[in-house]
Chains A and B, each alone.
Chain A
Amino acid sequence: MGALGTHESITADHKLGFFRRYIFSLDHKVIGVQYILTAMVMAIVGGLLSMLIRLQLAWPSHQWPWLGQVIPTGMEGGVMKPEFYLSLVTMHGTIMVFFLLTAVLAGGFGNFIIPLQIGARDMAFPFLNALSYWTFFLSCLAILSAFFVVGGAPLGGWTAYAPLSALPQTGPGQGMGMTMWIVAIGLFVFSSLFGALNYITTILNLRTKGMSMMRLPLTTWSLLITAILGLLAFPVLLGAAILLFFDRSGGTSFFIPGGLTVGEKLVSHAGGHPLLWQHLFWFFGHPEVYIVILPAMGIVSDILSTFSRKPIFSYKTMVLSMSSIGVLSFIVWGHHMFVSGMNPLLGSAFALTTLAIAVPSAIKTFNWLFTLWGARIRFTAAMLFSIGFVSLFVSGGLSGIFLGNSAVDIHLHDTYFVVAHFHLIMAVAPVFAMFAGLYYWFPKMFGRMMNETLGKLHFWGSLIGVYCVFFTMHVIGMAGHIRRTYDPYQYEFLKHLQPANIFITKAAFILGAVQLLFLINFWWSLFKGKKATDNPWRANSLEWTTSTPPPHGNWEGEIPTVCRWPYDYSAPGVKEDFALQSEPLPAAPSGK
């Protein structure tokens, strides 16, 4: 366990100056919180972008002079420019996928929770951990700067399909803006790799005595699998981004075939293939979906169990299904490319593998459902958000069955059906898990409770808003409403959908406003919240055995020894309806 093993070396850190302690800290808890707070800023940016997108889709020819004042370049004279709209789409996707979802779930919760749940004083490589955060921070600056360079932010979508992304002359924003995007993604990959290496090493090597792999809480399990996915998937994205950079600036032609003309001018590239980018991108991109959703599943599993006062249903199957999702996630990427022009035989193959990955996902759903069977459910804000997660996961998962079936996908591909599907399953559901996690671990992070009433209001508003927005989106997608379109009413067959678009926009504005409740709650509770006890939820895992908030080094004294699995809720032979993992087993063993 190295230098961190002894108590002396831990307390020595307390003498560090303010900046070393809170800004350039090596403490995993500080780094985790830094991730969460940075991502909170990014989420506000990304959320505002989506509000502008919705504004445009509901009333495309309307003039907003005051917005023209606020955003002079993108909305000169109060009318949104099409290229600005597309850069909003691109940046909303990029910011939310990488800088919110991946950052908070893997970076934020991963850092804060892993050492506490496995009984370690810190991560295996604290410096690498800090490096990971600061690389991420730089990456945030890089992506935001794309808005302010010549030509503005890139307009090719977060998927950056070549050759649109490879040829700077194909649009404003595809020049300097696109370069900044590549730089930001490159930095982000490094940050994620530092984190992933750290998580894997920490979980495999630094578990406390008695903490066998099959006694790990599911949150930690999910973070381990996520880290492995990240370690295997992110380098592919980095490779693709570097090749793209070479195509743009080095005169290579990885993604650019010969004989292209842009504006009737011959492009001096030859020999590449546009589909190569899609294969590389989605080879990363699909595991990325699970990088986001797996930690969410883990967090929700733990919270559902805690507030059901019941063990999670079928722990082993949960671990197994998460692992198989992890493995399968590397062989389903082609379902993003059914109509891309790749060999249709591959379409058949990927439809089959996609079918395969749906099975463990369904199993997990049933397990969550049956965790509730015979429970004593306590409706905290965290629990409500977890139940909301299950509902959203089911809805989004079911609409995935349409898209995974190649024949049905032909019509639905690149419509709002897809947008609705992936928002439900990989954006809103994980965000619900994120909120659940924040309501749940906030006391451990900051020593105070969040306000439950505000939290519940936040939940009701969010659930209703989310379904109003994304359910309706599924329906207009069926009607053929294409995505990434600046003005859908250019098409006769889409004109009748405007009432639906206006409804979605209004719901989205309300949904956005409801998130203010969370921000208010978060900042108010930080200063004025009720002081938290060490184990306010009467939960089992190790983070609840230490003081609230935990000291540097996590436990004042010895790290507790683990005697049981983390799900001994309402176990027979235990007086309380919970039993901390460190609590010695009675004569008759209860759990695993």
Chain B
Amino acid sequence: MRDSDGNRAAGFIEAGFLALLLVILIAAALWLFFQRVWWFPELASARSLAVDRLFELTLLITGIAFVMVHGALAFFIVRFRDRGTGRALFWHDSHALEISWSVVTLVILTVLVFMGQRVWSDVYFSKAPDNAVLVEVTGEQFMWHARYPGSDGAFGATDPKLITNTNILGLDKRDPAARDDVVVDNTLHLPVNRPARIRLRAKDVIHSFYLPHFRTKQDAVPGMTIEIWIVPSREGQFEIVCAELCGLGHYRMKAMLTVESQEAYDKWLKEQAG
């Protein structure tokens, strides 16, 4: 029961404290995002700049909404706390208000989603340029295998019945196209500034091919072959992460992507084939 004067005094402390907390929350949020203490890994793909931009725009809009709603909440709490005098307003409907905030929300979200769909369709519906490198990446518990088609530019036939410890992808050596295929473990090399088509497959369970520096993530699903394409924009070594829980060694299912000059790439590929 709250009809004693003590409670009315307490109301002020609680309102004030809660409002203060909300203000601190706002401040902490703003600080974290503007200081960029922890931020996205440095971008290595020109194609994904749009994703980052969209993220930043969304952050700005949601940030404003966050500050406004929490600010209002803090203000209302202090302003409308029960001081033990007067009655609350008997006001519970306003079509004008409701329509306006619904429309504003709808418009903002529509704009965001349509901007998002432009990026999305660029990622998924645009065709890779003809000069793209082609590589197949297969995930399994708990390794990544990359396969390059070799000098003939064609992947050889595979058969799961042929899979052993030493023929990890089940290459069918009777197929001439398979003989020059290059298979490397937990390693992927790509030339810089040249598009790369990556065909994703999985042998056992679902894995997810995640390149944090490229803002690229695609599940590798057993029974499916999914192709994505990226354009590495700077040289360096980038970690390939398995992002979909695949079993006890999931956390160790990592590979390394090396982006290098076309010459270095050609040299590396030749070494692997030999």
Contacts and interface: CB of A to CB of B under 8 A. Distances in A.
B82 A377 contact: yes
Given A376-B88, A405-B116, A478-B39, A414 B55 contact: no
Interface residues of B, number: 110
11 contacts: A155-B248, A309-B88, A377-B82, A378-B7, A398-B62, A407-B123, A410-B51, A411-B212, A456-B14, A475-B32, A493-B212
Q: Pick from B18, B28, B168, B251 the residue with the most CB of A within 10 Å.
A: B251
Interface in B78-130: 80-83, 86-94, 97-98, 101-102, 105-106, 109-110, 112-113, 116-117, 119-121, 123-125
A261 B203 contact: yes
Given A359-B106, A479-B41, A374 B212 contact: no
Top 6 A-B residue pairs of the complex, sorted by shortest distance between their CB atoms:
A257-B223, A374-B89, A344-B124, A480-B212, A407-B119, A379-B14
B199 interface: no
A83 interface: yes
Interface residues of A, number: 119
Contact of A378 (B2, B91, B217): B2
A375 B88 contact: yes
A408 B77 contact: no
Contacts of B132: none
B113 A264 contact: no
A402 B168 CA distance: 39
A550 to B, nearest CB: 20
A339 B208 CA distance: 9
B25 interface: yes
Given A406-B120, A478-B40, 4 more contacts: A163-B206, A359-B109, A460-B17, A490-B251
B80 A487 contact: no
Nearest to B92: A311
Contact of B204 (A170, A379, A405, A480): A170
A362 B101 CA distance: 8
A257 to B, nearest CB: 3
Contacts, number: 336
B98 to A, nearest CB: 6
A55 interface: no
Interface stretch (B149-157, B179-187, B189-197, B236-244): B236-244
Contact of A387 (B39, B51, B73, B98): B73
Contact of B90 (A311, A380, A406): A311
B246 interface: yes
A266 B102 contact: no
Interface string A550-592: 0000000000000000010111100001000000000000100
B38 A463 contact: no
Contacts of B206: 161, 163-164, 274
